Amino acid sequence: MTTEQEKIAQILGDARDALLQVTAERDAAVGRASASETKLASVAQRLEVEKTAAVMVDKGLAADLDELIPELEKAAEEGRLPVIQEAVKMAAPSSGSFHINHDEARTGGSSSDLERYLVGEVG
């Protein structure tokens, strides 16, 4: 009967070894999946930051993409990127600067009362 008990002990030992090996493989796979998810989230966040920065530059809300992207990445790390994105959506495009040609208004060119009022000639 000792041979039968030895066989059982051998089977149980082999099962333990197999379980330890499968557990180690599972833990390694979970670690790789977690690292992949983290990297994917990082890439997705970077894309959102770049997209937001591009919209901000297009709307004239910022001038330099190289300075804006690190600022937005920091805001994203702090969880503020969605708020910034909503604000950018609501912001009207900036035309840069608004100039009135004062020389033309003073010469009395074809200006309307509104143009003269805006320039400061009326009122």
Are 56 and 62 spatial neighbours (Cβ–Cβ below 8 Å)?
yes
Question: Could you tell me the pTM of the whole model?
Answer: 0.56
Q: Report the C-alpha gap between 80 and 82 in whole angstroms.
A: 6
Give the pLDDT of the chain (123 residues) as one tens digit per residue: 579 999 999 999 999 999 999 999 999 999 999 999 999 999 999 999 999 999 999 888 888 888 999 999 999 999 999 999 999 999 888 755 443 344 544 545 556 777 777 776 655
* Pairwise CA distance, residues 54 & 60, whole Å: 10
